[in-house]
Amino acid sequence: MRSQGVRKRQFLGLITVLAVALAACGGGSSSDTTAGGEGAATTAGESAGELVTVGFAQTGSESGWRSANTESMKTAFSEENGFELIFNAADNDPAAQIAAVRGFINQGVDAIVIAPIVEDGWEDVLQEAADAEIPVILEDRTVTAPEDLYATWVGLDFKREGVYAGEWAAETFGDTPTKMVVLEGTTGSAPANDRAEGFDEATAETAIEKIDSQTGDFTRDGGKTVMEGFLTKYGVDGIDLVYAHNDDMALGAIEAIEAAGGVPGEDIQIVSIDAVHDGMQALIDGKINYIVECNPLLGELAAGFVNSVLAGEEVEKRNYVEDQTFTQEQAEEALPDRLY
């Protein structure tokens, strides 16, 4: 099975090169792989009469962002685009996700795409994929494994997102003593680590004091439960600011604040990251005060990189997607046209 997969990739790569030459198109740079790479490889797959088999190891379905990300991936890796997608969602269980990747290797897929739940613990299985000559593309989250064990990564700059959130907090509260609690993402995950680091850097010289911080696992229920604990411990009057690592946890915090008799956005201000539909609506309603975007629509980019790698093209190791930031007024303008 493995040798057949290798031959298929070699054949696809050869046809891609010929198709590009006949079309009199020059080889694109790594920044052009989304459009050029995907179109060329899809044509190759159709010409060869075979689909490119891709195993996608998703984290789970913990949030609205994750659901939008999954839908984007399924759309991009469709049969219409020349792919057969084998999908697995690990329900935020790192061991289950690694087992799923091993399953993809045993099935002899052509490529593997992973949204790693946590950063650590990937060396062995990534080495197994390399030994089987199956390229790995990371999307959304990163790993601490050596870079030569995966072909490329596409996603967001989580630290910069934290910096954006922290800059808003620093500007909003200035030198005013401010009691802040943090709703952290999944412990050990890249976005939780980086968003914390970025925010802390941006607020280091301010009077904002982090009085408590706990993981809500990027879920609405988790955010609500953790916020309930904070409110029991400090009271509505003892908390000025909530920094939520994603919108779903912020939405859970809103429920907890309201149940405690507080007014979210006024008694306790909230800054969050994601900009999913429900979060943006809460911003418009004044219950969240500021949102930093984390764009989940990475499917087309990931598919383009898969095709480029299988065609033997060189790609950049890290590929960032730009994020926006939103005030209430900006959210009102943007929401009608949002795709997630």
Kindly compute the dihedral angle of the four CA atoms of residues 30, 34, 37, 42, in this order, to the nearest 10 degrees. 170
DSSP state of 68: H
Among 201, 278, 262, 198, CA closest to 227: 262
Count of domains forming the chain: 2
Q: Which two tokens stand for residue 144?
A: 């601490």
Residues 259 and 113 in one domain: no
Residue 3 — very low, low, confident or very high, per pLDDT cuts 50/70/90? very low
- When pLDDT is cut at 50, 70 and 90, the band that residue 174 belongs to is confident
pTM for this one? 0.81
Same domain, residue pair 242 and 274: yes
66 and 172: one domain? Answer: no
Q: Which residues does 319 contact at the CB level (< 8 Å), separation at least 6?
A: 30, 152, 153, 154, 155, 301, 305
| CATH at residue 210 | 3.40.50.2300
Is residue 126 located within the same domain as residue 13?
A: yes
17 and 75 belong to one structural domain: yes
Residue whose token pair is 């989940």: 296
- Degrees, nearest 5: CA angle 64-225-283: 45
Q: Do 140 and 199 share a domain, yes or no?
A: no
Strands of the 241-244 sheet, one edge to the other: 208-215, 178-184, 241-244, 269-274, 290-293, 325-326
| Shared domain check, 185 and 116 | no
Give me the percent of the chain exceeding a pLDDT of 70.
86
What is the separation of C-alpha 118 from the centre of its chain, rounded to a whole number of angstroms?
12
Tokens 């991936």 map to which residue? 73
Same domain, 38 and 105: yes
Indicate the SS3 state at residue 273.
strand
Do residue 124 and residue 167 come from a single domain? no
Tell whether the model's pLDDT for residue 98 goes beyond 70. yes
Q: Are residues 120 and 263 in the same domain?
A: no
Task: State both tokens at 165.
Answer: 């959130």
Same domain as 81, residue 28 = yes
Shared domain check, 333 and 204: yes
Residues 62/218, Cβ–Cβ less than 8 Å: yes
Domain extent for 45: 2-156+296-320
pLDDT in tens, 180-236: 999 999 999 999 999 999 999 999 999 999 999 999 999 999 999 999 999 999 999
Helices 299-310 and 38-48 cross at an angle (nearest 10°) of 60
